[in-house]
Amino acid sequence: MRLVLLGPPGAGKGTQAQRIKANYGIAHLSTGDMLREAVAAGTEVGRRAKAIMDAGRLVPDEVMIRLVAERIAQPDCARGFVLDGFPRTRAQAEALDALLAERGERLDAVLEIAVDDDALVERISGRFACAQCGAGYHDRFKQPEVAGVCDVCGSREFVRRDDDKAETVRARLEAYQAQTAPLLPYYRDQGLLIAVDGMAEIDQVSAEVLEKLEAAAR
């Protein structure tokens, strides 16, 4: 299964992608995570991306397309993948179509996680993640079962993202509206778009995602 998750910053793409990965045994490809790893490792891509990400703007298409092309050629993507944060521009969407066509593959579905702007700011400002395994949490909506201990790996170290400051979040929302939201009609026209209500609770969103994916596969 080959999926794309579309939705504004904080919509729950990463949260749902982790569950889709667990459910279908496919790879989770978060371009935001890939860039943050490149920044932490101090690679050339990371050095180029850091200032752009901190400003809430989009990293150039050619950088992103190369990153994703290399990633989907890895063996763990053979059974499929869920793309989280890519494509984000028309050029990226067209490059993805071409990349898959070359491999004799195509997307099965594009899931739109729709969430109101006010809720996004609240979700982003309360977000934190395990510093060891990356599991995602929220101050209000998803606390670890034992306070201060990761449910998944038991680590006691957590991190917050540099680009989750209020000014940067505004720029990220603007970038989404201007550059990424136009992909909704692009995929709707291809008959691939499936909308889910991202305002519901996390488990309910997951249930709707799985139900709609099963229905689409029939």
Which residues carry out catalysis?
Answer: 13, 88, 127, 160, 172
The residue within the footprint of ligand AP5, chosen from 2, 3, 15, 20 (CB under 6 A), is 15
Dihedral, CA atoms, 137, 140, 146, 148, nearest 10 degrees? 70
CB of 10 to Mg ion, least distance (A): 8
CB 19 within 8 A of CB 206: yes
| Binding to ligand AP5, residues 31-70 (CB under 6 A) | 31-32, 35, 52-53, 56-59, 64
What are the residues whose beta carbons fall under 8 Å from the beta carbon of 182, sequence distance 6 or more? Answer: 90
Nearest CA to 78 out of 2, 192, 18 is that of 2
Q: What track of x and - describes contact with Mg ion for positions 116 through 155 (by CB under 5 A)?
A: ----------------------------------------
Phi, psi of 129 (to 5 degrees): -140, 160
Residue 214 CA to its chain's centroid (Å): 21
Which positions lie near Mg ion, rule CB under 5 A? Answer: 14
Positions in the binding site for ligand AP5 (CB under 6 A): 7, 9-15, 31-32, 35, 52-53, 56-59, 64, 85-86, 88, 92, 123-124, 126-127, 136-138, 141-142, 163, 172, 198, 201-202, 205
